[in-house]
């Protein structure tokens, strides 16, 4: 059984006592909420640091760049010394955490990529802000690609597939239904907008291997995976889709393990309101399903946001460990949020929770963690303990050193562009164009004219050989048997070509 993790200290009790987070119950999830500047980032840092110390890897998004300081040991500044004296606690053993930096754009961390096929039409429609009709057309495009064994790996694959389907919409209408040219155009425009925001660098190969997030260092400390999200926040839909895709990948790939002494990974969703704002109902249902079931995979999820009302009730009800920093009740909505936050805690007779929420100072919070039986403790007013790593960002040189020493250094830096939908569609178009062009004619010695096209080579394909056996090998028209065999061959080739995996948030169907 792992030792409890001290996170905060209640100085109002006699004697003052520490409030502990139990590692075995971290997979019951949690949330950290509060207004801007009240200390949410430091609370996140303290929890992540404590988990790393017992060998639990964590993943978090660094929106402001402050969390990069976890790669460097802290120091006893004058302000920190006063803080420790006021809390009546000893200075921590200053130490850095083992950190791996990631970046969708590949600038301030190792590149993170996913394929279009793995993302799936549901999340892609969310990112492109498509309406229901346009999303339906996008799903048809994915279906046609699957049926024809065309891999959609990067944006140029999807654009080529969209153009191909749009140009041949009449051919697909009978089997797949109407395909609107206006919807195809809307999707193409959305892809252009994603490319202009730099999102095209997110799609491609090599795709992120989830196992690379579950590493420990030589001392047994869990790796702290930090996503550089300061630039990514300029594309909030891409940010939300990336985090949801990553959560679905964990859900899909990790085995069932039940309840462990400590989680296998803890996932922190910063700016969680971006995940749920304007999300369609099917996507919200999927998120709720994943949050509910990923506990048995040994994964804990923490949502960090300003207002508890940002999190849907169905998801909020799954979050057992809670830290509430100050809220400001300046507007009717703020007052409603204060009341909602107070009502979610287990009441403490000695505390007026709704009143205290508006009085908390920076670094102070209302804390309620689960006890050893999985019950929420009564809410207590407490000060968050200081972290052992640096508060605030590190310089670029320190970041580069950490990246060079990372266990994945050199693995993802070089992109791969293998044959996929774009190349295959272009090759078929070129072959069709060449077949339609008339062959030049030359004069024969006898004065006659003949085609310069070379004699056709014998058909050595499976269908051609069988066709020849039935006497149809040299006929311009296919015999019934030859047509049947070639149809079966195409079907088999299509099935083999479908090496396409959809995450649970990417699509309803999943093929391996």
- 81-85, 171-175, 242-246, 438-442 — which is least confidently predicted? 438-442
Classify 443 as helix, strand or coil.
strand
> How many whole angstroms separate alpha carbon 111 and alpha carbon 123?
20
Q: Kindly tell me if the per-residue pLDDT of 128 is higher than 60.
A: yes
Summarised one tens digit per residue, pLDDT across range 225-236 is 999 998 888 888
Q: Is the pLDDT of residue 198 over 90?
A: no
Q: What is the rounded distance in angstroms from the CA atom of residue 210 to the CA atom of residue 215?
A: 10
For the ranges 85-94, 260-269, 485-494, which has the lowest average pLDDT?
485-494
Give the CA distances from residue 238 to residues 154, 388, 452, in Å, rounded to whole numbers and listed in that order.
15, 33, 54
64-73, 156-165, 308-317, 469-478: which has the minimum mean pLDDT?
A: 469-478
Position 80 scores a pLDDT of 87
Q: What is the pLDDT of residue 162?
A: 96
- Of 417, 399, 58, the residue nearest 207 (C-alpha): 417
pLDDT reading at 478 higher than 60: no
pLDDT for residue 469 is more than 70: no
pLDDT for 500: 54
Chain-centre distance for alpha carbon 275: 11
Q: Delimit the domains of the chain by residue range.
A: 5-111+208-394, 116-202
Nearest to 457 by CA among 478, 441, 446, 473: 473
pLDDT tens across 404-416, in order? 999 899 999 999 9
The confidence band for 440, taking pLDDT boundaries of 50, 70 and 90, is low
Nearest CA-CA partner of 425 in 74, 112, 119, 162: 162
- Name the nearest CA neighbour of 464 among 482, 442, 451, 446: 482
Please give the CATH superfamily to which domain 5-111+208-394 belongs: P-loop containing nucleotide triphosphate hydrolases (3.40.50.300)
Q: What percent of the chain lies above the pLDDT cut of 70? A: 85
Residue 409 is given by DSSP the state T
Above 70 in pLDDT, residue 430?
yes
Q: Please check the confidence at residue 501 and state whether its pLDDT lies above 90.
A: no
Per-residue confidence at 77, pLDDT binned at 50, 70, 90? confident
Beta bridge partners, 269, equal: 303
Chain segment 150-194, per-residue pLDDT in tens: 999 999 999 999 999 999 999 999 999 999 999 999 999 999 988
- The answer to whether 169 and 147 are in contact (CB under 8 A) is no
More confident residue, 297 or 433: 297
Q: Is 177 left (phi over 0), alpha (psi -120 to 50) or beta?
A: left
For residue 196, the model assigns a pLDDT of 85
Question: What share of the chain has pLDDT > 90, as a percent?
Answer: 59
Closest alpha carbon to 76 in 59, 89, 57, 62: 89
Mean pLDDT, range 294-311, rounded to an integer: 92
Nearest to 312 by CA among 269, 271, 275, 282: 275
What phi and psi values does residue 225 have, to the nearest 5 degrees? -90, 115
CB atoms within 10 A of CB 94: 16
Tens digits of residue pLDDT in 264-285:
999 999 888 888 887 778 788 8
Residue 464 has pLDDT above 90, yes or no: no
Distance (Å, whole) CA 224 – CA 309: 29
| Averaged pLDDT score across all residues of the chain | 85
Rounded distance, CA 265 to CA 222, Å? 9
Q: Residue 385: which pLDDT band, with cuts at 50, 70 and 90?
A: very high
Structural tokens at position 87: 């809390």
Dist. CA 77–CA 79, nearest whole Å: 5
Report the pLDDT value the prediction gives residue 297, as an integer from 0 to 100: 94
Q: Where are the extended beta strands (E) located within 167-308?
A: 224-228, 265-269, 299-305
Q: Which of 155, 233, 488 is nearest to 480 (CA)?
A: 488
Tell whether the model's pLDDT for residue 136 goes beyond 70.
yes
Alpha-carbon Rg for the chain, nearest whole angstrom, is: 29
Rounded distance between C-alpha atoms, residue 337 and residue 327, angstroms? 8
Comparing 100-104, 158-162, 275-279, 326-330, the range with the smallest average pLDDT is 275-279
The lowest-confidence range among 132-141, 322-331, 389-398 is 322-331
**CA neighbours closer than 13 Å in the CB half-sphere of residue 446:** 3
Q: Taking 60 as the threshold, does the pLDDT of residue 442 lie above it?
A: no
Confidence (pLDDT) at 472: 44
Tell me the mean pLDDT in the region 438-444.
Answer: 54
């Amino acid at each position: 059984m792992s030792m409890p993790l001290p996170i905060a200290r209640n100085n109002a009790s006699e004697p003052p006592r520490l409030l502990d987070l139990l590692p075995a119950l971290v997979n019951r999830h949690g949330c950290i909420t509060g207004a801007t500047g009240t200390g949410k980032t430091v609370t996140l840092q303290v929890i992540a640091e404590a988990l790393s110390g017992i060998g639990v890897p964590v993943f978090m998004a660094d929106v402001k760049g402050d969390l990069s300081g976890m790669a460097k040991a802290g120091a006893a500044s004058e302000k920190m010394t006063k803080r420790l004296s006021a809390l009546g606690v000893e200075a921590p053993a200053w130490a850095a955490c083992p950190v791996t930096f990631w970046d969708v754009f590949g600038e301030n961390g190792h590149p993170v990529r996913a394929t279009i096929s793995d993302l799936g039409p549901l999340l892609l429609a969310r990112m492109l802000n498509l309406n229901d009709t346009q999303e339906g057309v996008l799903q048809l495009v994915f279906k046609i690609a699957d049926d024809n064994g065309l891999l959609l790996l990067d944006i140029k694959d999807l654009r080529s597939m969209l153009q191909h389907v749009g140009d041949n919409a009449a051919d697909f209408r009978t089997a797949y239904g109407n395909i609107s040219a206006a919807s195809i155009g809307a999707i193409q425009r959305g892809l252009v907008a994603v490319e202009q925001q730099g999102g095209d660098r997110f799609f491609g190969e090599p795709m992120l291997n989830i196992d690379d997030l579950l590493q420990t260092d030589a001392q047994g400390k869990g790796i702290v995976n930090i996503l550089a999200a300061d630039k990514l926040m300029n594309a909030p839909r891409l940010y939300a889709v990336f985090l949801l895709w990553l959560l679905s990948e964990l859900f899909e790939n990790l085995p069932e393990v039940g309840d462990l002494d400590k989680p296998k990974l803890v996932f922190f969703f910063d700016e969680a309101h971006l995940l749920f704002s304007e999300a369609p109902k099917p996507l919200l249902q999927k998120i709720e399903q994943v949050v509910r079931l990923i506990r048995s995979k040994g994964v804990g999820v923490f949502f960090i946001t300003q207002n508890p009302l940002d999190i849907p009730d169905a998801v909020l009800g799954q979050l057992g460990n809670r830290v509430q920093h100050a809220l400001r009740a300046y507007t009717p909505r703020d007052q409603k949020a204060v009341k909602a936050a107070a009502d979610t805690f287990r009441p403490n007779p000695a505390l007026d929770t709704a009143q205290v929420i508006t009085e908390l100072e920076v670094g102070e919070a209302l804390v309620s963690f689960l006890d050893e039986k999985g019950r929420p403790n009564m809410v207590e007013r407490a000060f968050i303990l200081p972290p052992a790593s640096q508060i605030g960002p590190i310089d670029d040189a320190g970041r580069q050193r950490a990246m060079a020493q990372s266990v994945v250094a050199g693995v993802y830096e070089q992109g791969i562009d293998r044959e996929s939908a774009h190349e295959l569609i272009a090759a078929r178009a070129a072959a069709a164009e060449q077949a339609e062009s008339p062959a030049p004619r030359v004069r024969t010695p006898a004065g006659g004219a003949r085609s310069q096209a070379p004699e056709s080579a014998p058909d050595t394909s499976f269908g051609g050989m069988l066709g020849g056996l039935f006497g149809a090998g040299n006929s311009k028209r296919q015999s019934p048997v030859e047509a049947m065999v070639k149809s079966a061959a195409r079907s088999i080739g299509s099935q083999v070509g479908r090496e396409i995996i959809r995450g649970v948030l990417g699509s309803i169907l999943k093929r391996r």
